[in-house]
A and B are shown apart, each in its own frame.
Chain A
Amino acid sequence: MTTSADTGGWVGRSAPRREDARFLAGRGRFVADLGDAATLHAVFVRSTQPAARLLGVDVSLARRQPGVVGAYTGADLAEDAGPLPTLHEPHPGFAAATQFRMADPALPCLAVDEVLYVGQPLAVVLAHSRHLAEDAAELVDVRYADRAAVTDATEALRDDSPVVHERLGDNEAGRIGFTLGDVDTARAGAHLEVTETYRMGRHGAVPLECRGVFATVDHRRERVEVWTSTQIPHLVRDTMCRVTGWATESVRVAAPDVGGGFGTKANVYPEEIIIPVLARRLARPVSWVEDRAEHFLAAAQGRDQVHHTRLAVDATGRILSWEDDFVVDIGAASLWTAGILANTAVHLLGPYRMRCVRVHGRAAFSNKTVVAQYRGAGRPEACFALERSLDHAARELGISQEQIRRRNLLTAADLPHRVDLPYRDGVPIELDGGDYLACFEACLDALPRAELTRLRAEHPELAVGYGVANYLEATGRGPYETGRARLGADGRFAVAAGSASAGQGHQTTLAQVAADALGVDPAAIAVVNGDTDAVADGIGTFASRSAVLAGNAVDQACRELVSRARQLAAQLLGAPEARLRDGVFEAAPGTSAPGDSADSTAGAAGTLSWAELAAALGPRGTLADAPPLDVTVRYRPLTVTWTMGSHAAVVGVDRETGLCRVLLYAVAHEGGTEINPMIVHGQIVGGVAQGIGGALLEEFRYSADGQPLSGSLADYLLPETTDLPPVRVVARHTPTGANPLGVRGAGESGTIAVYAAVAAAVQDAVGAHVTATPITPAQVWRAASREPALGRAG
C-alpha cells in the first residue's frame, strides 16, 4: 500500500471500501442480528382503514395467547410517549422571505382516537417469537367507524373536502411562495408561453433492509440502549427524549449496519419510540423487525407532487419568466414538510439565467402513508417541471432540447450567481459553480445524439429516443455536524462523526479524510459513526450532507488534534515548535536547538512518531499528566454547497406494447473534490438506478377510497440489474471554497434529473408530451398509437 506522501493524499483515491470485507462475507451486523433467546418480539397491529374513528381496540384475547407477554393499545402507552414533533423548521429569515408556514399534525405514536392511514400502528403485541406475536396480533379486535378518506392532494385543499386532522380545521400542511423580478411584465413581452400540469407519482426508497429496532435496558448504567436502522441516531435520541421526557444521558441510540436508507430512514418513527418504551416498562430486551408487507404500508414514502407551470420565452428560447404553483401530497403527516416544500420551491430555479420567477407551493394532508425526504426530496419534482417545460417550449419554437438549454444555462461568466432569495438557512443563495454550460456540453460529449444511429440499428424493433435534463442541487445543509478524533494508547486513532452510514461507506471515506489530516495510513484509523456514544450530539446522514458536513468535521477535529499534538511534540523534542511531516513530528525548521534537553521519548534524529507521542501520554509516560488527545468539534458551514449536473438518456420504446427500456445513460456533474471517486461513481450510478425506477416502474398506488394497492414487490416494481443501462459518468471536479475540503454533496446527483431525461427520451421516441411519472406502458402505448408517424425522425 502506498502512503500519502507518494501521491499527495488519500483524499481523491478510489480506496477499496473497508466495509465490504464484512458485508461480502455475511458478517455485517444489522438490527435483525441483535438480541438473544430472552428477547421479546414485537408485532404492531396496524390500521386496515384509511380514515376512521376508533371505537375500540381490545387486546384482551391477544394477551391471553400462549407465549404472549404483553399487548398494549395506544391508550395504554399514551402517557409514556407523546406525539412526534417536526424534525425541521426553516430559518426565520427564509420563512419571512417565502411567507412560509406549516401545520403541526402531532401524530401520536400509537393511534388512540382515530386512524389516518392504512398501516398506522394502533396496538403492539409482545411475545417470545415473531410467529406467536403475529398469531396473537390477529386476535386484537379493532372496531372502526369509517370516515371519508382524502386521497387527492388538490381535492384535499378545496373547502368542501373532508378533513384529515379535524383538530387543524383544514388539510393545508404547509405553504411557501416567493417572487423574483417583475414576472407579469416579463411575460407580457414573451414570444411564447407554455403552460402544463406535471405530476410525479408517489414512490420511495424501498431499501434492501426494512426498518427495525432493538432496545435493551442496561441496569448497571441505568439507561436504555436502542439500536435502530436509521440514518439519524442523534435526532432519534433527541426526539425520543422529548416525547418521553427521558434524560439525554439515560438513552443511547446507535445504528448498526444499515442496509440502505435513501431518506426513508432519515425519519423518526413511532416504532423507534414504542420499542424502547416497552423495553423499559418490562426491563426486557425487545426487538421489532419490520417485514416487507409492513414496510409497504408504514415506512415513509415520497414525491407525489403536482405542478402547474407557465414558462415564457423569447423567440430564441431565452427564459423570460417562470411560474410554478405546486401541491405536495404529504400523507397523513410528515416530520419534513418544511424540507420538502422548501427544496421543491428553491430548486425550481434550476441552473439557468432566470430573473423573473413566481413560485407558490402547498403541502396537503391526505389519508396516505407518512412522507419523508426520499432521495432528492422535492428536487426531482422541481427538475421535472422545469425541464419538461423547457422541452415543451423548444418543441413549440422548433429548436432542439440542447439548443434551448444552451441559451439559458449559467456559464463561467455568470458564476458565482447571486439570487435575491435566502436559502432555508437564511443565507442569501449564491451558486458558486464552475461552468454549467460546459458541464452540459460534457454530458452531450459523453453520450452524443449521434449514437442514436448505432442504437437504432442495434434495436430495429424499437423506437429509440434521446433526452437530456439538467439539475441544480443544494447539498450539505447545516446547521452543523460533530466530528471527533482521538489518539489511542497504541498510536492508532479513533475517528467519529454524527453521520450514520446506510451503505455510503463512511468508514472508508472518513478514514481517508482523517489519514490526510493526521499524516497516517487509513489502516491506523478506526471510524465509528451512527452512535450517540461516539459523539454526544450530531445531525445524521441525509441531504447529500455527510461528505460535506461529517467530512469537514472530521478534518477539522483531526487538524485540531494535530495542532495540540504539535505542542506536546515540541515539548518532547525540546523545540519551541514542532511540525508534522509525513506522519512524523519534527522540530520546525529554524526553531530546533540541537543538543538541547530533548526528551528521551523522542526518536532518532529529533523526530517523534504518533506511537511515541501516545506512549508519552500513557500512565507511565513523560506527559502522563497532560489531558488526552481527544478532540471534538462542531463543523458549521456558512451555508449549503451547490452542485449541478447534466443527464442524457437513450430510451427504446416498443411501440406495439409501450414497454420502455433505457438503453444508455450519461451523467456529467460538477462535483467538488471527490474523497473517493469510486464511491462517488457508485452514488451516481445507484442514483440513476433509483431514478429509472421512479421514472418507469415504481408507484405506491392507492384506491380512490384510500386503500394501498402496492403491497408487495410483485406490485411495486423496483428496477433490477437487467433493467438498467450502462451509465457513463463524467466527474467535472469543481472544488468549492465553501468548505475546507472543497467537497460537494453527490448522494442525490444521480437521481434528480433522471425523470426528466427519461421522459424527454420517451417523448423523442413516440412524439407525445410526457407529463407524468411513472411513465407506464399503457400510457406510452396510447401515445404511440396516437402519433404513429413521430419518433423515428431526428
Chain B
Amino acid sequence: MKPAPFEYLRADSVPAALAALAEHEDAKVLAGGQSLLTLMNLRLARPSVLVDIGGLAELDRVFSDADDVLIGALVRHRRVETDPELRALVPLAAAAAGHIGHVGIRNRGTLGGTLAHADPAAELPLVMVTLGATCYLESLHGGVRAVPAEQFFVSYYTSALRPDELLTWVRVPRVRAGQGWGFVELARRHGDFAMAGAAALVELDSLGEVRAVRAGLMSAGETPLLVSGPDGLVGETASARRWGELATEWTAELEFSEDPEYARALARVALRRALTEAEARAESTPEAA
C-alpha cells in the first residue's frame, strides 16, 4: 500500500497553488489527505503531481456577517464540529461533522477536501446542498467563480471543479431564528459510510405553522440530493404523521442499485427523523417576535 511515484509541490500561497495547477494538468490538490492518500496508497489514484495546500493559513479562516458565514477550504472537520462560533452559526454542519470518521480523521480532513472529493455518502456535501451554500472556485486564468452547492456536485466523485481550479471558500447561510435543523445518519458503526442519511431545515412562523422546509439525502444517488419540494407542508401545522408522509413522497422516485426496497426504507426513515428533529428544534427556538 505505497503510492505510485509522484511529484510533490508545496504551495506557499493561493496564487502559487493556482499557478501549479495551471501548469500541471494531472495535478491533484492535497489538503487533509483523508481520502486522496488512501486512494493513492491503493494505487486507485495515480496523480503525477500533488499540490499540497496544507500550509495555506489564509484558507484556514472563518468570517461571518449578518446573513452568512464564509468558511475557508482548509478549515478542518474537527473545527466545524467543535468551534463555538461555527456551532452557533451553522449547527447543522457541526452536527454532521461529528459523523465523519473518527476524531483522528476529523483533525485532518478539511471542508474543501470533502466537497472536492464529492462522495455522495459524505456528510458535509449534503449539508452544503441543504443549506444552499455557495462554493468559490479560483483559477489562475479564470479568476473566481461562484457555484451553488446544488450545481457543484455533478456525479460520483465528480464536482464542477476544473482541473486548474482550487476550491477556496464556501459561503454558508447562518441559521435563522425560527429555523430548526435535523441531521440523521444511519450506519452500522459510528464513523462508517452512511447506509442512509438526511439533513433537514424546518422554519416555523410565530403561529407554529411551517414557513419553509428544505431537506436532502446522502447515499441516495450520484450526488447529495436535495429532495424537498418547493412547498412541502408550507402553511400547515406539522405532525409526525405528516413528516412521515412527506418522507415517503420525497423518497418514492429515488433509484437505488443495491437492495432498493431496503435502501428506500432507510432513506425514508432518515428523512422523517431529520424532519421531525428539525421541527422540534424550530419549536424550541421560536422566531423572534
Contact = CB atoms under 8 A, between A and B. Distances in A.
Nearest to A776: B188
B1 A717 contact: no
Given A777-B195, A778-B259, A722 B1 contact: no
A291 interface: yes
A657 B266 contact: yes
Contacts of B189: 697, 717, 719-720, 722-723
A722 B192 contact: no
B5 interface: yes
B238 interface: no
Interface stretch (A44-52, A129-137, A274-282): A129-137
B192 A293 contact: no
Nearest to A785: B265
Contacts of B195: 657, 777
A131 B2 contact: yes
Interface string B41-68: 0110000000000000000000000000
B42 A135 contact: no
Nearest to A719: B189
Interface in A701-758: 712, 714, 717, 719-720, 722-723
B190 A722 contact: yes
Nearest to A292: B1
Interface in A679-697: 696-697
Given A135-B4, A293-B1, A656 B269 contact: yes
Interface string B189-205: 11111010000000000
A237 B1 CA distance: 29
Contacts of B5: 131, 135
A102 to B, nearest CB: 36
A781 interface: yes
A659 interface: yes
B192 A291 contact: no
A778 B262 contact: yes
Contacts of A131: 2-3, 5
B186 interface: yes
Interface in B260-284: 262, 265-266, 269
A130 B188 contact: no
Contacts of A778: 259, 262
Nearest to A656: B269
Contact of B188 (A134, A712, A717, A782): A717
Contacts of A697: 188-189
A291 B269 CA distance: 38
Contact of B42 (A293, A658, A781, A782): A293
Nearest to B258: A778
Contacts of B42: 293, 712
Interface in A276-315: 291-293
A714 B262 CA distance: 20
A731 B39 CA distance: 47
A723 B188 CA distance: 9
Contacts, number: 48
B16 to A, nearest CB: 27
B188 A659 contact: yes
For chain A, the bracket of interface size reads 20 to 34
B269 A777 contact: no
B186 A781 contact: no
A380 B176 CA distance: 55
A623 to B, nearest CB: 58
A777 B2 contact: no
Contacts of B192: 714, 717
Interface string B1-34: 1111100000000000000000000000000000
A450 B215 CA distance: 42
A291 B193 CA distance: 22
Contact of B2 (A134, A719, A781): A134
A659 B1 contact: no
B190 to A, nearest CB: 5
Nearest to B191: A720
A131 B2 CA distance: 6
Contacts of A130: 2
B1 A291 contact: yes
B270 to A, nearest CB: 8
B193 A714 contact: yes
A695 to B, nearest CB: 13
Contacts of A777: 188, 195
Contacts of B262: 658, 778, 781-782
Nearest to A712: B42
Contacts of B3: 131
B244 to A, nearest CB: 11
Interface string A552-596: 000000000000000000000000000000000000000000000
A292 B2 CA distance: 12
Contacts of B259: 778
Interface in B86-129: none
A131 B6 CA distance: 12
B186 A659 contact: yes
Contact of A657 (B1, B4, B190, B269): B269
A388 to B, nearest CB: 23
Nearest to A696: B188
Contacts of B2: 130-131, 134
8 contacts: A135-B4, A292-B1, A293-B42, A657-B186, A657-B266, A777-B188, A778-B259, A781-B262
Given A717-B189, A781-B265, 14 more contacts: A130-B2, A131-B3, A131-B5, A134-B2, A134-B43, A135-B4, A293-B1, A293-B42, A697-B188, A712-B42, A717-B192, A722-B189, A777-B188, A778-B262
Interface of B: 1-5, 42-43, 186, 188-193, 195, 259, 262, 265-266, 269
Q: Which 4 A-B pairs have the closest CB atoms?
A: A291-B1, A131-B2, A656-B269, A778-B262
